[in-house]
A and B are shown apart, each in its own frame.
Chain A
Amino acid sequence: MKNQHQSQDWDLIIKGHTSLFDIKFKDLWHYRDLLFLFVKRDFVSFYKQTILGPLWFFIQPIFTTIVFSLVFGKLAGISTDGLPQFLFYLSGITAWNYFADCLTKTSTVFKDNANIFGKVYFPRLIIPLSIVVSNLVRFGVQLLLFFGVMVYFSLNGAAFEMTYAVFFFPVLILMMALLGLGAGLIITAITTKYKDLSFLITFGVQLLMYGTTVIYPLSAAPESFKKYIELNPMTGIIEAFRYAFLGKGEFTVWSIGYSAVFTLVVLFLGIIIFNKTEKNFVDTI
């Protein structure tokens, strides 16, 4: 009797201890429809019962850009590398927002979904992935705004040019998404036990923006700070983004290679830690 059972092929074996690398990609693929339904839910719930609806996607970057132009451009007089201020800030904000949204939203996945995770099993990674995709759509819409502004400035004779680096643009998007995702996964996993980190993240991301070349070009940074700013993997990505579309910025194989390696390491760690945490987090939250 016993032997017969052992030879039977089970579809699923639930065990306490599994290998660190036991990530269920097959499950993830099976639940791909759920990912897109979550994305749809995010959008529908976002603009149902709002008057301006999808216009909100534009309002936030436009107003931030205006404020930055006034404060950092006019009052502080920080260089924009010879680019029109509005275009300079908008490019930085658009790219930074995508990364920052992926990071902050992913970093609260366990907390925000404790209720649903406590009742039903589905691969938990679906939620962070759906966040990245939702934000990608948002980013796409904001990119249209950026392109519109580019066309406007170029018609008015502003001095900038697109470069060959535009071909790397898809890679840049992927890097921003995965870096935000990876860091968010690490943070959400740790916050299930140590809640302190969730306080840090909200203003931490804001502070990190000042350590990235969003409101100033890398070339304008003082030499003594420059090496620290370059250590920030988002710096390479934003500089490359500006170089691709506006022709100004420090784009080298080294800077982008460093960001890519950093991204992959963070992503790898993030997935492993998240995967380890998801099994039992329901007991601790």
Chain B
Amino acid sequence: MKPVIQVEHLSKAYQIGQFGTGTISRDLERFWMTKVLGKADPFLKIGETNDRTRKGNSDIVWSLKDINFEINQGEAVGIIGKNGAGKSTLLKLLSRVTGPTTGEIKVKGRIASLLEVGTGFHPELTGRENIYLNGAILGMRKKEITRKLDEIIDFSGVERYIDTPVKRYSSGMYVRLAFAVAAHLESEILIVDEVLAVGDAEFQKKCLGKMGDISKGQGRTVLFVSHNMAAVQSLCSKGIVLENGSISYNGAVEGAVAYYLKASNDNAHRVWPHQDGPQTDFLRLLEVKVLDVHNEIALNHLISNEVRIEFTYEITKEGALFTHGLNLFNNHNIHIFSSHDKDSETLLKPSVKGIYTRTIRIPGNLLADGGYTCSFAIMRYEPFQVELHEMEIVGFTIIDELDSTDIRGKYTGRIPGVVRPLLEWQ
């Protein structure tokens, strides 16, 4: 098999912080050093990794560092990694939206990228006119589009409204039309980023099917970026895991998904060994753990399993009456619930010095799949006062497997909604 994409020593640096004051003098200095004197760029410090939790010394951040890989013709490759790992940057470089800082990418064939479907759609233009405009933006010639017009309209399922301005479309119709254009591009390489997060379940299935056809049936190469591990696993044969701007795994997709799920466990455990945890005048946090049903620290939990969050703290002053609380947020920062520990003994008996543990159990078949973060609170009731509220204290991920039957039954598409409780139908 021949490689169609070859990436060599690819790096991308971003400047963070303020642009503005001093940039002219700095630009002149940079120009003088690099172009006239031929020295290295004084504002790029090599050797720093892209880790958002650690503060670097320079205001240059390496979003990608020395990436090397090859993709062969006809392969479907999933690119996975946490937010900020460099996935989007890699896609942007591949789709030529921005240029690399160093290194190079060699490509054989045409690349089409669906970084976001519907780019360039104009609300005043009709569906048909937008097909032409969007197709041309994606690199199609006019006659190519004309040839495929019927197929595109047919796939989108909006033929009734094809001569209506798209501003009158529902958001679902809009996305269908946009995806239809992109899916019919005659390109050898297709880059797809999270398009599956839109549209209704039936259409999602159609898209997944179409992408499967593209990679398996037509021998085209697909690069697929998604947080949906189930979709990655069903579509892709290979997986690349990015971590802090470097490749940490490159191989079969099963291995990549397993590696990714394991590697991101550190979010599920926080410990403050040097008595520097969040504190009030009578209490100090020592450790927070997200536990699975076997009481082991785990980031990823199957949707049907209970999630336990265990807080360990030290009482530093006697005599306080208080209780615990927890707020849960999903990845889109939607506040899912707030829970008060209303029956806690600490509300009745004044505190005694020592180390205590309290656990909250979130039942299985309640949350939807996706990432969550929680905050921890210490409150007094009479009068009501929040003594401590620590945001994003730990996080975990709920995983829905397409073959789980508890809630899904035989349905394998996407299920929308912020929660996914198992409910009874009569």
Contact A116 B95 (CB under 8 A): no
Which of B75-132 touch A at CB < 8 Å?
92-111, 113, 115-116, 119-120, 122, 124-125, 129, 132
Which of A42-50, A149-157, A158-166 makes up part of the contact surface?
A42-50
Residues of A within 8 A of B139 (CB): 30-31, 122
Q: Is B234 an interface residue (CB 8 A)?
A: no
Contact B132 A37 (CB under 8 A): yes
Complex-state Cα separation, A44 to B132, whole angstroms? 14
**Chain B residue with the shortest CB-CB distance to A285:** B19
Partner of A14, one of B107, B109, B120, B137: B107
Min CB gap B17→A, angstroms: 12
Contact A44 B125 (CB under 8 A): yes
Residues of B within 8 A of A49 (CB): 124
**Chain A residue with the shortest CB-CB distance to B103:** A16
Complex-state Cα separation, A117 to B113, whole angstroms? 13
**Chain A residue with the shortest CB-CB distance to B34:** A17
Contact A120 B108 (CB under 8 A): no
Q: Contacts A44-B124, A120-B115: A14 and B6 contacting too (C-beta < 8 A)? A: no
Q: Is B251 an interface residue (CB 8 A)?
A: no
Q: Contacts A14-B104, A33-B141: A282 and B98 contacting too (C-beta < 8 A)? A: yes
Contact A13 B104 (CB under 8 A): yes
Q: Is A279 an interface residue (CB 8 A)?
A: yes
Residues of A within 8 A of B14 (CB): 283
Contact B97 A119 (CB under 8 A): yes
Contact B125 A11 (CB under 8 A): no
Which of A12, A30, A279 lies at the interface centre, i.e. has the most chain B CB atoms within 10 A of its CB? A12
Complex-state Cα separation, A31 to B122, whole angstroms? 19
Complex-state Cα separation, A16 to B100, whole angstroms? 5
Min CB gap B369→A, angstroms: 27
Min CB gap A197→B, angstroms: 12
Interface SS of chain A: mixed
Contact B108 A119 (CB under 8 A): no
Q: Contacts A120-B138, A121-B97, A122-B137: A45 and B105 contacting too (C-beta < 8 A)? A: no
Contact A118 B107 (CB under 8 A): no
Contact B92 A282 (CB under 8 A): yes
**Chain A residue with the shortest CB-CB distance to B113:** A120
Contact B95 A121 (CB under 8 A): yes
Which of B103, B106, B165 lies at the interface centre, i.e. has the most chain A CB atoms within 10 A of its CB? B106
Contact B102 A16 (CB under 8 A): yes
Q: Contacts A34-B137, A120-B95, A122-B139: A15 and B104 contacting too (C-beta < 8 A)? A: yes
Complex-state Cα separation, A255 to B20, whole angstroms? 40
A45-59 vs B, Cβ < 8 Å mask (1 yes, 0 no) = 100110000000000
Q: Is A224 an interface residue (CB 8 A)?
A: no
Contact A120 B120 (CB under 8 A): yes
Contact A48 B124 (CB under 8 A): yes
Contact B107 A33 (CB under 8 A): no
Contact B132 A10 (CB under 8 A): no
Contact A33 B136 (CB under 8 A): yes
Q: Is A194 an interface residue (CB 8 A)?
A: yes
Residues of A within 8 A of B116 (CB): 119
Partner of A194, one of B23, B105, B165: B23
Which of B144-168 touch A at CB < 8 Å?
165
Q: Is B334 an interface residue (CB 8 A)?
A: no
Partner of B19, one of A41, A48, A122, A193: A193
Complex-state Cα separation, A44 to B126, whole angstroms? 10
Residues of B within 8 A of A14 (CB): 93-94, 96, 99-100, 104-107
Min CB gap B302→A, angstroms: 35
Q: Contacts A5-B3, A33-B142: A11 and B137 contacting too (C-beta < 8 A)? A: no
Which of A167-225 touch B at CB < 8 Å?
193-194
Complex-state Cα separation, A62 to B93, whole angstroms? 49
Which of A209-265 touch B at CB < 8 Å?
none
Min CB gap B1→A, angstroms: 12
Q: Is B2 an interface residue (CB 8 A)?
A: yes
Q: Is A284 an interface residue (CB 8 A)?
A: yes
Contact A12 B98 (CB under 8 A): no
A21-45 vs B, Cβ < 8 Å mask (1 yes, 0 no) = 0000000001101100110110011
Q: Is A3 an interface residue (CB 8 A)?
A: no
Q: Contacts A116-B119, A120-B115: A41 and B107 contacting too (C-beta < 8 A)? A: no
Complex-state Cα separation, A14 to B98, whole angstroms? 10
Contact B122 A41 (CB under 8 A): yes
Partner of A13, one of B24, B97, B107: B107
Which A residues are within 8 Å of any B CB, using their own CB? 5, 8-16, 30-31, 33-34, 37-38, 40-41, 44-45, 48-49, 115-122, 193-194, 279-280, 282-284
In addition to A41-B129, A49-B124, 16 A-B residue pairs with Cβ atoms within 8 Å of each other are: A8-B3, A11-B107, A13-B105, A14-B93, A30-B141, A33-B136, A37-B132, A44-B124, A45-B125, A48-B124, A116-B137, A119-B97, A119-B113, A120-B138, A122-B137, A193-B27
Q: Which 3 A-B pairs have the closest CB atoms?
A: A121-B96, A279-B99, A34-B136
Can you list 24 residue pairs at the A/B interface with Cβ under 8 Å? A8-B2, A9-B108, A13-B104, A14-B96, A14-B106, A16-B100, A16-B104, A31-B136, A34-B136, A38-B133, A40-B129, A44-B124, A118-B97, A119-B113, A119-B116, A120-B113, A120-B115, A120-B119, A120-B138, A122-B139, A194-B23, A282-B97, A282-B98, A283-B98
